[in-house]
Structure 1
Amino acid sequence: MIDIVFDYTQLQTIGLTQTVINQLYAMTETPPAGSALLRVTEIQRDWLTVHDGNTEYPARTLPKLLTALHEQGTALAVGDWVIVQVNELGERWISIQLPPASHLARRANDGRRQPLASNIDTALLVMGLDMDFNPRRLERYLAFTRAAGITAVAVLTKADIGIEVEQRLTELQQRLPSDVPILAVNGLADATRDTLAPWLGAGQTLVVLGSSGVGKSTLTNTLMTSDTQATGGVRHGDGRGRHTTTARSLHQLPGGACLIDTPGLRTWRADTDEAGINAGFDDIDTLSAHCHYRDCQHQDEPGCAVRDAIPADRLHNYHKLLREARRGQQTALERKAETAKWKAIGKAGNARSREKRGG
């Protein structure tokens, strides 16, 4: 029998679910007696903060677990449920990571996976109705969260000071899948808590995603009814924000839900495959079944059912994300080979041009 210390009622305040309990008792590795089930609420370099629903503690990760995660191409993330043991010096060490029910990550330029958050029920995709308004970026966030099996809600902040608010709402309603809620809010208003109430039930875990300056920290403070997160302004001229949140962190909300705030994400490279991208563009995926050719790329093929039915900009974004996903699935050698291939094609094209000019 696994000897793990945990208080279900207490841990439920930071998102414990029956799924986590099932994973706990399905473990094949036996932890030391007296180990505790805790949740990672913040990561700062080599140190992590773990929480038991009542108190938070500093902890580090055992080298054995670090090595295992590295071999899997991943790492611990805020929101992970972990087994923690205490040594004779009173130091807390993370020895086991329970498999996350959901996980968000992005790919670095060199292909490495960078974990963002784990065990999430709902992603609040935050975008400002000011100069930050960028439907392509919102589609990108939506594609990646859906690929991870996470419910997505589009939260448009600064509705009180936004530009062409009604037109922009209509544009998104026509562009995004119909089952994605689109909410326009004033992040400073108490009414925002009521607007988001359907996703703030006890035991639920949410993550806030968006670029810097869209009001993620302001929204977090409003939902927490406190000023826990520092906030800042945006630059004049382009509306881009300054990084006021520098680390991902999990916060307990008054109603029993948890919220993970994240630093601004201006770019987010795909950590998914083509099927994952299609999950975020299910309207295109559905229409493609009616294309004349089964392998239609929705570009210039005759009989394409997608090209005329989907806005050109949305279709362009879809193709771009597919290319990123394919590249993200390549090994380092495959990426080098593809780069060399296109360099050779470019050189050949330049040579032909010189020949035509008589050079």
Structure 2
Amino acid sequence: MFTIDFASLRLIGLTPAIANQLYALSEQQHGEHLQAGRITEVQRDWITVHHGDSSNRVRVPMRLLHELEAEDSQLAVGDWVLTDNSQGGHCIVVRMPPVSHLARRNNDGRKQALASNVDTALLVMGLDSDFNLRRLERYLALTRAACVVTVIVLTKADISVGAELRLTEVRQRISASVPVFAINGQSAETATTLLPWMDAGQTLILLGSSGAGKSTLTNTLAASHQDTGVVRASDGRGQHTTTARSLHLCPGGACIIDTPGLRSLQLDINEAAITASFDDIEALAQQCQFRDCSHQSEPGCAVNTRIDADRLRNYQKLLREARRNHQTPLDRIADRAKWKVLMRSVKERDRQKRG
């Protein structure tokens, strides 16, 4: 008979709602040797699942991989699964549909899973040369689209010149509904600052570029011993100390997913999600004189004079990316045809001017 050791699994994020879903999945599988667990590490050659009392490397059947591929999905750290160990080794039988899921698009356009079943995302950005408001807005669009609570954590406040000025820049540019903290990632006070988001059973993920201080912050919050590295003096970039996503347990019962730094973040979200993350622009757009206002130089625009110019450019860039990423093949063909016609008309006009 399938049972769940709630006390031990709660330490790695189990909630009553997730337990109910796992029970329902077990009844569908009709298995007598099923065990609930959570994926804590995804490497190229293996997957680790924590069952509450122990961690085990598990096999993933090709059947499940094909099913996930058909759904344009992948197994990710944070996924809840049912495993079967009746054949002499642990094997994943089924994955529970994630409550929340974070993913991006690779340069080749394929989806890459980042993490599943996350409650809070800590967007980590250094107050040194890592400081980049456009990138921060991109991360914020990703987490808001996944309905994940977001907290901005600005690291290296103890060694950065002008930290207060940059903290003010972030607060002026980002919605007041998103908490922003400037911290020293090695200080014990940081754990106290972030305590409201670290209740027992909560799952947090650290997102940011290489060298931002994610592994240092993980060590502080989870009392773990992740390797940390220095940043290059020439450009302030990190050197990918963390090479795989992994889940770590915190003393208070929360768990943290540490991730490798992302050199690029191509969003896998639609226009509506982009608009929702720039809600200040959307609210002002309702006051524009023209409904199809592009917020460039149209008369009666309520946006371009009241929104930071760089924030507005970033918003428009993300919208263009979202439209391009969600185009069908026929849409792309139609766009190419439109541009060909436009370019031919420009060339013809130039030819006529030259006589």
TM-score, length of structure 1 as denominator length? 0.93
| Cα root mean square deviation, aligned | 1.8
Partner of 2:324: 327
**What displacement does 1:341 show?**
4.5
**Matched residue SS, 1:202:** coil
Please list every run of 5 or more consecutive structure 1 residues that lacks an aligned counterpart in the other structure.
none
**Matching of residue 288 in structure 1 with residue 285 in structure 2:** yes
User: Which residue among 243, 246, 249 is the counterpart of 1:249?
Assistant: 246
Post-superposition CA distance 1:149-198 (Å, at most 9, x none): 00110000000111311111111111000011010001111111111111
Partner of 1:170: 168
Distance in 2 between residues matched to 1:278 and 1:303, nearest whole Å? 21
Partner of 2:21: 23
The size of the alignment, in residue pairs, is 354
Partner of 1:76: 75
Inter-CA distance 220–354: structure 2 relative to 1 (3 Å threshold): farther
Range with greater deviation from structure 2 (276-285 or 147-156): 276-285
Distance in 2 between residues matched to 1:113 and 1:284, nearest whole Å? 28
**Matched residue SS, 1:290:** coil
Inter-CA distance 238–346: structure 2 relative to 1 (3 Å threshold): farther
**What displacement does 1:265 show?**
1.1
Partner of 1:299: 296
**Matched residue SS, 2:59:** strand
Partner of 1:51: 50
Inter-CA distance 270–86: structure 2 relative to 1 (3 Å threshold): same
Is this contact kept in 1: 2:224–2:248, CA < 8 A?
A: no
**What displacement does 1:351 show?**
5.8
**What displacement does 1:339 show?**
4.7
Is this contact kept in 2: 1:210–1:266, CA < 8 A?
A: no
Is this contact kept in 1: 2:120–2:150, CA < 8 A?
A: yes
Distance in 2 between residues matched to 1:346 and 1:213, nearest whole Å? 44
**What displacement does 1:64 show?**
1.5
**What displacement does 1:289 show?**
1.8
Post-superposition CA distance 1:245-294 (Å, at most 9, x none): 11001111111001000010121111111111122111112222222222
Distance in 2 between residues matched to 1:350 and 1:217, nearest whole Å? 55
TM-score, length of structure 2 as denominator length? 0.94
**What's the % identity of the aligned pairs?**
57
Code of the residue aligned with 2:173 in structure 1: it is R
Distance in 1 between residues matched to 2:259 and 2:6, nearest whole Å? 27
**What displacement does 1:31 show?**
4.3
**Matching of residue 266 in structure 1 with residue 241 in structure 2:** no
Distance in 2 between residues matched to 1:31 and 1:310, nearest whole Å? 57
What is the correspondence of 1:1-359 to structure 2 with a 5 Å cutoff?
Answer: 3-27=1-25, 29-88=28-87, 90-227=88-225, 229-332=226-329, 334-335=331-332, 337-339=334-336, 341-342=338-339, 345-346=342-343, 349-350=346-347, 352-353=349-350, 356-357=353-354
Range with greater deviation from structure 2 (125-134 or 318-327): 318-327
